[in-house]
Structure 1
Amino acid sequence: MSAVQNRKEDKQPHRTNLYFDIPSTPWPIVYSPDYNITFLGLEKLHPFDSGKWGKIVNFLKEEMMINDETIVRAREAQEDDLLVVHSKRYLNKLKWSFIVATITEIMPVAFLPNFIIQRKVLRPFRTQTGGTIMAGKLAIDRGWAINLGGGFHHCSSDQGGGFCAYADITLAIKFLFERVEGVSKAMIIDLDAHQGNGHERDFMDDNRVYILDAFNRYIYPGDGYAKRAIKWKIELEWDTEDSEYLAKVEALVAKALHEVTPDIIVYNAGTDILDGDQLGGLAVSPQGIIKRDEAIFKAARINKIPILMVTSGGYQRSTARIIADSILNLHHLHLIDQRLI
């Protein structure tokens, strides 16, 4: 059995500040300024835009969709929250700066005192992780939720990598299984350009979680063992464009939802499928990404399944604008709104 399943399901849930009643007036959109990573310019040594989450919020504010009072402020996941999935051994490894440098792929981090790394690098990751967990409950309560961060799909219970230090997708699902009555089956739709090997390893032997993953077959992580957990798989070729990409994704999602009706969909909406992304290797246009997100939310709405979206990877400066445009499109099509669904 996986490390995640080894936990006793009948164990009394721990005390947490991540599950609480949220008024119905804010949008079920979760964010905190603490998501953004800035420290001595080190963030510029990785192609990921570590301030993209704040840029998304600013774009949505400019379009008058949200303001600071109408979104949900994310809270940082504490150690007891993380231990729902992660081992104490793994969390202790993050106290070594070299380990964090390896996970974030920013090697100068190895030479910094760990207390700085905890505050400037890992705390933003923990806050985004808390945001995903919070958004899981919001999705059940409101029918949908978007965490403007999160999507750390390369991290499993005992190993980080690929700029992913905490397994927020696994945590959000485990919190729902343990704390929300009536939630016993989840579907992960992972449409980041990279294989989501972290949650795949975590749910390898857990038949309550059905994983659909579409990814570039030639790039990181190439985790053959983790692929065994994928129920529905699309291995894409270099430079796959809109028409082929959308046709394959929409067909597979329809097939998956015909076979299984989950209690929640966790949608990992990476934008590294964008044409020109140096790490994704695909060639989907901005409008293709917007159409992709639209298709997933339409499928959730038609099938009356709550959906949680996280933003995951994307390695071009234009991705924040595209994510904001996609959210605005969902709103204009009435696929998301403030009202209870």
Structure 2
Amino acid sequence: MTSLYFDIADNQWPLIYHEKYNISFWGLEKLHVFDAKKWGNIIKHLKEGSFIDDDAIVQPNEAQKSDLLVVHTKKYLKSLKWSVNVAMIAEVPVVACLPNILVQHAYLRPMRLQTGGSILGGKLALERGWAINVGGGFHHCSGEAGGGFCPYADITLLIRFLINAGKIETAMIVDLDAHQGNGYERDFIGVPEVYIMDMYNKHIYPRDKDAKRAIRRNVELNTHVEDLAYMLQLRQNLKAALQEFKPDILVYNAGTDVLDNDPLGLMRISEIGIIKRDEFVFQICREQRIPIVMLTSGGYLPKTAKIISDSIINLHNKGLISGKREKGVQ
């Protein structure tokens, strides 16, 4: 049995966050371009907007070794006990010099909490029609290897937990992070029950040709793509994907590194472009009555947190999410 699945109160939203999501290497996290406080800042902005309070937020449990072994190999999990290996995944070389007990506490435990949040999000999306994990989306990690700041395969775990529990038979992953989601793609090569649509900048990391074999709808974009061309590609391809495949759940990897001036995404999507992107994905899921779980994934500018919170508020204002249980969902 897992402690990651549990029921939530009627007054709680399927909005998942834990204050220990945030990473602190005693200032060393600033050596990476990622905003290690992004997740907390999203919640801060939501509270400042009087959108939500602590009582409405769902706190996940930390994924334990037994949970991680549903997807991860023992060899991979054992490799995380060496700080040099974690440093390569976190992309902060100095972490290799730290005692592993500190690395576990400061980096890997927050990531295990976020992974627990993603797994719980799958269950809650089926029950409420939607769920948002204010974290997760570690799409560069597979069962056998981490990379690109992603130490745990939370997307693969989310889907495998639902299938193993008999809650779903099929799933669709829609990955709109600027980078190719090569981790879960490697896990789902040759798995017809999982449909992958990946829309990314083809000129940047990871350029994983082998992982592309798992993608059913591969949308490769050029550097500096702007709103109009981006939304056209999204609308055409997501509509076509849902004509080809009817999933029991849609996992939305909503990376905001597509934002103009993001140092790694190298795309030119505006703030309103991201908000409209999220709105479209949630709208089409509502129209087709497909439960959706959103993960926040990449996004490397300080203003990213405010954009995500604005997008969540917009989803509510447009009637696409609410704290009430949706009619007709499980």
Q: Classify the TM-score, shorter chain.
A: over 0.9
- What pairs up with 1:111-122 in 2 under 5 angstroms? 111-122=97-108
Is the partner of 2:56 in helix, strand or coil?
Answer: coil
Distance (Å, rounded) in 1 between the aligned partners of 2:112 and 2:7: 21
Tell me the amino acid that sits aligned with residue 165 of structure 1: P
- 1:207 aligns to what? 192
* Residue number in structure 1 paired with 2:216: 231
- Structure 1: 4+ residue segments shifted above 3 A: none
Residue 48 of structure 2 corresponds to residue 65 of structure 1: no
Query: Hey, what does 2:271 align to over in structure 1?
Result: 286
Name the structure 2 match of 1:137: 123
1:180 deviates by 3.7
Calculate the TM-score normalised by the size of structure 2: 0.98
Equivalent positions of 1:1-341 (< 5 A) are 15-181=1-167, 183-341=168-326
Paired amino acid for 2:129: G
In the TM superposition, what is the alpha-carbon distance from 1:24 to its structure 2 partner?
Answer: 2.1
Could you tell me how far 1:75 is from its partner in structure 2? Answer: 1.1
- Shift in Å at residue 20 of structure 1? 1.4
- Please give the alpha-carbon distance, in whole angstroms, between the structure 2 residues aligned to 1:259 and 1:238: 28
1:180 and 1:339 mapped to 2: Cα distance?
25
CA distance in 1, matches of 2:79, 2:156: 19
Q: Distance in 2 between matches of 1:39 and 1:237?
A: 35
Q: Secondary structure at the match of 2:54?
A: coil
| Cα offsets for 1:121-151 (capped at 9, x unmatched) | 1000000000000111000010000000000
Amino acid of the structure 1 residue aligned with 2:50 = M
The percentage of aligned residue pairs carrying the same residue is: 56
In the alignment, the residues of structure 1 paired with residue 107 and residue 318 of structure 2 have an alpha-carbon distance, to the nearest angstrom, of 37
Q: Structure 1 length as normaliser, TM-score?
A: 0.95
d(CA) in 1 for partners of 2:227, 2:60: 34
The count of aligned residue pairs is 326
Cα offset, 1:74, TM superposition:
1.6
Q: Deviations over 1:17-59 (max 9, x none)?
A: 1111212210100000010001211110000001000000010
Counterpart AA for 2:270: S
CA distance in 1, matches of 2:99, 2:200: 36
Deviation sequence 1:236-270 (CA, Å, 0-9, x none): 00100000000101110000011111000000000
Uncovered stretches (5+) of structure 1, i.e. residues with no partner:
1-14
Q: Distance in 2 between matches of 1:25 and 1:273?
A: 34
Instruction: Report the secondary structure of 1:291's partner residue.
Output: helix
SS in 2 for 1:224: coil
- 2-structure distance, mates of 1:276, 1:237: 15
Write the letter of the residue equivalent to 1:171: L
Deviation string for 1:258-302 (max 9, x for gaps)? 111100000000000000011001000000000000000001000
Q: Distance in 2 between matches of 1:24 and 1:302?
A: 24
